[in-house]
Structure 1
Amino acid sequence: MLNSEKIGNEFYQNLGKLFYAVAMADNNVRPKEVERLRKYVRQFWLDVDDVEDEFHTDAAYQIEIVFDWLEGEEKEGDEYFNEFKDFYKDHPEKFSESLKKLIVETADSIANSFAGKNRSEMLTIFKLKQLFNH
């Protein structure tokens, strides 16, 4: 696998971690949040680039795969936010302004999908916006 493809797959996997951290901010991932994530992946993320995973499917599906896998784990959402943050700091060139905007929009949408944003979700999104502004 080419290094750029490996980084591309890691990019989407880390987005899965980030979006899971947003959904898990209130310690509960709700079906509406999962639905919203899937809708955004299909509506917006599949068109971002042409990177494919090792099975020749659009790498953007890695967002859903990682999100689903994390639901079975026992870690706190903050840990996954920090893993995303580390990836972002290691590969800032992968994050154009338009991608950052789409990432924040997706996170906002997930947080708003169930009874509006709560305090923990707002804090996670605030940390994301701060990360992108530095």
Structure 2
Amino acid sequence: MSDRTSSLLTQPPRPPSGRRIAALLGLFVLGAVVALAGALVQAGWFPAGLLLALAGEAGLCLGASRALRSRSGGVAAAAGWTLAVVLLTTSRPEGDFLFAAGSGSYLFLLGGIAVAVICATLGPGRQPDGGPGRLGT
């Protein structure tokens, strides 16, 4: 490796800018909105609604990773989705709840978490600046 590449890899990451923090907060909120929409759709049109809800979440997480060119976008969207789903699963004292005790609800919860983890890890990692040259040559 050249000295420039090795120095770039050893530098600590810069703190995020204000625009990046705003984008991550927006993706967090968008993840919560997608979770709410998915919770309503997955039970209404089973099994097509379940697939539509999971595809919407996958598109959000993968698109967020690609838009911000880092895994942090996908993680922010996945965190918003997960928090919203966990809050939607709690029952209220009045006995109201959004998820029924059926296989579709469990597939939405567990499948959604799996989709969030997969899509958040598919985002591009931290790469040094420079051309697309091969390392070690």
Do they superpose with TM above 0.5?
no
What TM bracket, shorter-length normalisation? 0.3 to 0.5
**Larger RCO: 1 or 2 (CA < 8 Å, sep 6+):** 1
TM-score using structure 2 length: 0.43
TM-score using structure 1 length: 0.44
